[in-house]
Amino acid sequence: MGKYQIAGIKLEFSYCFPDFFADRITKYQINDDDVVDARLKVSLSNDLKEIRGKFKRNVKGLNVYEVDGKIV
C-alpha cells in the first residue's frame, strides 16, 4: 500500500499486481504523511473461467458463444 497523486487526486492505493505497477507508479508516489482524497483497494475474488462452447459472433467487441444450448 502506498500514497500517490494521480491526475491531481491524492489516493491511498493497494494493489495485487506488483509486476505490472512496479516501474509505472513510483513517479506518482507522495509522502506517507499526506492526507488523501480517496482510498482504493484492489483484490481478487474469483478467477474467470474459459468459456468452452461454439463461437457464434462478435457484437461490439464482445464474443458471443453457445454453451449447452444457451447463448453466453
In the numeric block, which cell numbers belong to residue 9? 487526486
Backbone angles phi, psi at 18, to 5 degrees: -60, -30
Q: What is the pLDDT of residue 49?
A: 82
Note the pLDDT of residue 27. 92
Q: Are 4 and 30 in contact (CB under 8 A)?
A: yes
Q: In this structure, how many other beta carbons lie within 10 angstroms of the beta carbon of residue 13?
A: 19
DSSP 69: T
Residue 11 φ then ψ, to 5°: -140, 150
Query: What per-residue confidence (pLDDT) applies to 21?
Result: 79
pLDDT digits (tens, 9 = 90+) for 10-64: 999 888 877 887 788 889 999 999 999 999 888 888 877 888 899 999 999 999 9
